[in-house]
Amino acid sequence: MARVKRSDAAKAAQQNQSVNAKTGSTGAPTPDGGSTPPRSTPTRTQETDAATDQTSAPESQPAPDPRETTIRTLQIGLTVVSLIAIGLVVALILVVSRGGSPSSPTSIPPTQATPTPTSSPTPVYFTQYVAVNPNVKPGAIVVEIHSDYQCPWCERAEEIYGQALSQLSQSGDIDLRIHIRTLIGDQVIKNDSSERAGRAALCADKVGSFWAYHSTIFANQPAEGVGYTDDQLRTDFAAQAGITGQNLTDFQTCYDTGATSSEITAMEQEGVQGGINSTPTFLVNGIQISFDLQQNNATALPISSDSLLSGLKQVTGQQ
| For the chain, domain boundaries | 65-100, 106-315
Mean pLDDT in residue range 61-90: 45
Higher pLDDT, 165 or 1: 165
pLDDT score, position 70:
47
Residue 296 — very low, low, confident or very high, per pLDDT cuts 50/70/90?
Answer: confident
pLDDT at residue number 106: 35
- pLDDT at position 191 over 80: yes
Residues 232-246 have pLDDT tens digits of 999 999 999 999 999
- Give CA 191 to chain center in angstroms: 24
**Averaged pLDDT for residues 261-276:** 97
Binned at pLDDT 50, 70 and 90, residue 295 comes out as confident
pLDDT at 155 over 60: yes
Is the pLDDT at 46 greater than 60? The verdict is no
Q: What's the whole-model pTM score?
A: 0.65
pLDDT of 65 reads 53
Where does the chain show beta strands of DSSP type E? 3-5, 116-117, 129-131, 141-148, 174-181, 281-284, 287-290
* pLDDT at residue 58, as a whole number: 43
CATH class in words for 106-315: alpha beta
Q: Is the pLDDT of residue 128 over 70?
A: yes
**Which CA distances in Å does 115 have to 165, 203, 274, 282, 319?**
14, 31, 21, 9, 14
What's the confidence (pLDDT) of residue 319? 78
State the pLDDT confidence band at 63, using cuts at 50, 70 and 90: low
Compute CA distances 13 → 16, 104, 242, 271, 274, whole Å: 10, 20, 40, 10, 5
